[in-house]
Structure 1
Amino acid sequence: MRTFLSRSIVGAALWLATFTPTLAQILPTTPAASDTTHKYENPAGIALPKTPVPWYKGKLVKATIVPALMITYGATCINGNGLYSSYQANRDIHKLFPTFRTRLDDILIIAPYLELGGVLLAGVESRDDNLNIGLVVLKSELIMLSSTFIVKSLTKIRRPDNSDMLSFPSGHTAQAFLAASIVHNEFRHKSQWYGVGAYAIATSVAALRMINSKHWQSDVVAGAGFGILSAHLGYLTHRNRWGRKPIIPTGMNIMPTWQQGAPGLGMTWKL
């Protein structure tokens, strides 16, 4: 009897194991996650169409919109023109500073460049290397000096102190704001305060030029625009590859030569 019961239990267990669905068969299975790692790859190498950037979002517009507005405002308030003309501004300034005169504006025009050099000597990492900074400064200075000289010669606005007819725009202000823009562009990734300090110096130059009766309000506002615009154009037209080593020939060999009784140097290289 015991043998019969044991065989019956074993047989029932085998039958249940054979015909009873498993838990995996009862519960719905979750599909495997699709592989999205390579979803945006283009294995065929087909050139995908680029979405054109609207003209008003281009680098040139962003770089020129603010200085263009400053130059335009300066041009509209020459002499007695505009809502707050240069004559009105000159009158109000000399009510506040009737006798104050200083030569500090002749010194402060280079102060932003002194700040640039001091920050670099302090070890603060600039956006570009020293060579590229020098090239941008040189190009920007050429743009600023040529443009302000041409406009001064064409407009022939008399200075407030009647010293000459080269008032518009202010060259001192253009120089100070150009240097301040270089400082701002090179160190804004580290701190905005470098640019704030440089622009504060440039604004002081503009104010002192008016207090010293060397320039009208229109001159300094337009001069600031010319300086900023020159710096931006210097960066936009610079073709060097930022942050990369220059392309130089490798495998260069220099050796002394002797040709027709004259010594010299021969150079060969393999790119």
Structure 2
Amino acid sequence: MPTRYSALVALLLPLSVAAQTTPTPADTTHKYQNPTGVSAATKKPFFKSKGFRATIVPALLIGYGATTINGNGLYSSYNVHNDVRHVFGGYRNHIDDFLQWAPYLEIPAVLLAGVESKNDRVNLGLVLLKSEAIMLGSVYIVKTLTHVQRPDGSDNLSFPSGHTAQAFLAASIVHTEFRDKSQWYGIGAYTLATSVAAFRMINDKHWQSDVIAGAGFGILSAHLAYLSHRNRWGRKPTGRGIGGTSFVPMWTPAGGAGLGFRWQPK
């Protein structure tokens, strides 16, 4: 008998141990409620996302410009054109051809003054090239498709304004690169860009709709370039600007007293 009971215990013992060590099945009731695996607390609302903040202002500018083409809208392009001609008559100049690039001149000037930009020189150059490609391509396509005649009747490539798009693209890059240092850099750049838009209408080259939409295309192109850039070809700035700069008094027997500029590149 003891031998029979010992054999029975030896047979049932592994089964009882296995039953005790079998893991409890996982609760899969809520398995597909959050398939991305991202905590709900970390998700940003759409209105706070980078994409929305980067496109809302350009979209409003482009949309408003499109709704005021020719005689459309409460204060149409025709209304603005009549008011501009009433004030400026036949006045014309070519300053807008040069002023469209003026915001870019802030970049080397600020860097030489020792102010550090958001990106290093390599990545800043890549962002600039990418944004220019986006702007030129989009403006050319829209000009060709819309076929709007210029106020002076010179051609049918009026909408949107390429000069204005260029100026606001440059201003947006200046603002993005130096806004952490001072908002005045961006304010100055956008003031120059706005003056380009005004001169395009004064010179009878563009309608109101063209310059407002052009501003939107310029800003949007810069924002898309930054959103798609990942700083893969270079490094973040580690110092101030592009080197040490200073002004020192100096005197020479031939020229007398003066002020010298010293730059020590990094």
Q: Could you tell me the TM-score, scaled by structure 1's length?
A: 0.71
Residue among 42, 45, 49 paired with 2:39 = 49
Asked if structure 1 preserves the Cα contact closer than 8 Å seen for 2:84 and 2:202, the reply is yes
Gaps in structure 2 of 5+ consecutive residues? 1-36, 238-266
1:214 aligns with 2:205: yes
**What is the alpha-carbon root mean square deviation over aligned residues?**
1.7
Q: Please give the per-residue CA displacement for 1:92-129, whole angstroms capped at 9, x wherever unaligned.
A: 01111002111000000110111112111221111111
Matched, 1:204 2:195: yes
2:214 to 203, 213, 223: 223
1:172 corresponds, among 163, 174, 191, to 163
Higher relative contact order (CA 8 A, sep 6+): 2
1:144-175 deviation digits (Å, cap 9, x = unpaired): 00000000000000000000000000000000
Deviation at 1:245, TM superposition (A): 6.1
* CA-CA distance at 1:54 after TM superposition: 1.4
Distance 1:244 1:157 in 2: 44
Question: Equivalents in 1 of 2:39, 2:61: separation in Å?
Answer: 38
Q: Which residue among 139, 142, 151 is the counterpart of 2:142?
A: 151
- Runs ≥4 residues deviating over 6 A: none
* Distance (Å, rounded) in 2 between the aligned partners of 1:227 and 1:206: 12
Identity over aligned residues, as a percent? 69
What's the CA shift string for 1:197-221, capped at 9, x where partnerless?
0000000000000000000000000
Q: Which amino acid aligns with 2:202?
A: I
Q: Measure how far apart 1:48 and its partner are.
A: 7.9
Q: Does 1:134 find its partner at 2:122?
A: no
1:165 alignment partner, SS class: coil
User: Which runs of 5 or more structure 1 residues have no equivalent in the other structure?
Assistant: 1-46, 247-271
Matches within 5 A, 1:1-271: 49-51=39-41, 52-240=43-231, 244=235
Q: Is the 8 A contact 2:61 2:216 kept in 1?
A: yes
Give the structure with higher Rg (CA).
1
Contact 1:128 1:243 in 2 (8 A): no
CA distance 1:245–1:178, shift in 2 (3 Å)? closer
